[in-house]
């Protein structure tokens, strides 16, 4: 089959489109013909070099396609069935897994991180990870959903415990997590404030339901939030930007508020003023992916049309370098997809 592999860590030039052997399908697996795979910031981190990644390696976490065949021990799938793959790998038998907290399993990793991913034509998936999709969702839309929507759902619902009517600040409206977080917050009838670096992105965010947009190059986030909330602050901040926005994010919280973070695209080193943390009774929550239960839950809303996939642009798999370069420039609103 055709696949994109990296044989060394580095820039987009290490992405190599080549012929490799088809995957061997175990009896408890399902073989899927990949139609679309979305890019995430994780692809850039893995490409640049992360511990636990064995070379050569296939990137790509979010994939959708058609069932080719199901192994002997698997029932309930038929050839040609349209599916997406839950983007996580876990042992399935430890206490965390059996209690539904797969993202705390010691073997937990994201598909395409410490295990091979979906930038290829054929993918052998654990049956648990193969989830049928409705005809209303095309493959590009389906591939754009799982990682960012389960992440945003876990952050807002699982960890921060969002309640109807709260005020939520979502950083980075154009990012996948931002797009998911805006819509999930509106599903809970929250007031949503979001940020972006261009007016076009802010307009698109408003079209998704955001109530207020802050231009983060022209306006100071904490000052705008103060004005919008009548000096009260927000209940929840959805963070994934890191160093560049951390102080502003902390300033935006109301007393008792929660900052939940799942990333550090601008850098991991931040400071915390402990006096503010305890006196204002703030919560800082670290989030990584989500559980299989949460994925099923959020997909239910996507399949019913209450949450929408947003695809920015597609590239053929053979032109994946251009797709990575495009993602690195952060000009997108929504997901970047490679199609096999």
* Residues near Zn ion, by CB under 5 A: 90-91, 94, 97, 105
Nearer to Zn ion, 94 or 277 (CB): 94
Contact in structure between 315 and 37 (CB atoms under 8 Å) = no
64: which 2 tokens? 């959708």
Q: Please state, in angstroms and rounded to a whole number, the distance separating the CA atoms of residues 215 and 278.
A: 30
| Locus of tokens 């983060």 | 216
Provide, rounded to whole angstroms, the least separation between the CB of residue 90 and Zn ion. 5
Residue sitting closest to Zn ion (CB) = 105
Nearer to Zn ion, 114 or 322 (CB): 114
Contact in structure between 147 and 110 (CB atoms under 8 Å) = yes
Provide, rounded to whole angstroms, the least separation between the CB of residue 136 and Zn ion. 33
Provide, rounded to whole angstroms, the least separation between the CB of residue 177 and Zn ion. 24
Nearer to Zn ion, 91 or 279 (CB): 91
Q: What is the DSSP string of 301-336?
A: HHHTTSS---EEEEEEGGGHHHHHHHHHTT--SSEE
Nearer to Zn ion, 105 or 234 (CB): 105
Provide, rounded to whole angstroms, the least separation between the CB of residue 86 and Zn ion. 14
Nearer to Zn ion, 88 or 148 (CB): 88
18: which 2 tokens? 């080549």
Contact in structure between 236 and 156 (CB atoms under 8 Å) = yes
Provide, rounded to whole angstroms, the least separation between the CB of residue 123 and Zn ion. 21
38: which 2 tokens? 């979305």
């Amino acid at each position: 089959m055709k696949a994109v592999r990296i044989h060394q860590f580095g820039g987009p030039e290490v992405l190599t489109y080549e012929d490799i052997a088809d995957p061997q399908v175990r009896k408890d697996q399902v073989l899927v013909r990949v139609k679309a795979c979305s890019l995430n910031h994780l692809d850039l981190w893995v490409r640049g070099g992360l511990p636990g990644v064995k070379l050569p390696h296939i990137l790509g976490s979010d994939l959708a396609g058609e069932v080719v065949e199901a192994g002997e021990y698997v029932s309930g799938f038929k050839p040609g069935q349209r599916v997406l793959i839950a983007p996580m790998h876990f042992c399935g038998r430890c206490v965390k897994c059996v209690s539904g907290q797969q993202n705390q399993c010691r073997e937990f990793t994201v598909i395409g991180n410490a295990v091979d991913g979906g930038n290829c034509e054929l993918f052998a998936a654990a049956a648990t990870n193969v989830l049928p999709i409705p005809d209303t969702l095309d493959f590009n839309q389906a591939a754009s959903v799982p990682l960012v929507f389960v992440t945003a759902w876990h952050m807002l619902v699982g960890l921060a415990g969002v309640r109807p009517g709260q005020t939520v600040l979502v950083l980075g409206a154009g990012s996948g997590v931002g797009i998911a977080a805006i819509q999930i917050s509106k599903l809970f009838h929250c007031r949503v404030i979001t940020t972006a670096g261009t007016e076009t992105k802010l307009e698109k965010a408003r079209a998704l339901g955001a109530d207020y947009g802050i231009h983060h190059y022209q306006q100071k986030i904490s000052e705008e939030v103060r004005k919008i909330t009548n000096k009260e602050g927000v209940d929840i901040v959805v963070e994934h930007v890191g160093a560049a926005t951390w102080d502003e994010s902390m300033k935006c919280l109301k007393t008792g508020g929660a900052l939940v973070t799942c990333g550090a695209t601008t850098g991991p080193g931040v400071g915390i003023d402990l006096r503010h943390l305890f006196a204002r009774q703030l919560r800082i929550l670290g989030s990584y992916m989500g559980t299989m239960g949460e994925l099923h839950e959020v997909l239910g809303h996507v399949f019913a049309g209450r949450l929408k996939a947003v695809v920015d642009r597609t590239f053929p798999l053979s032109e994946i370098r251009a797709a990575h370069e495009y993602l690195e420039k952060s000009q997108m609103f929504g997901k970047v997809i490679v199609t096999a």
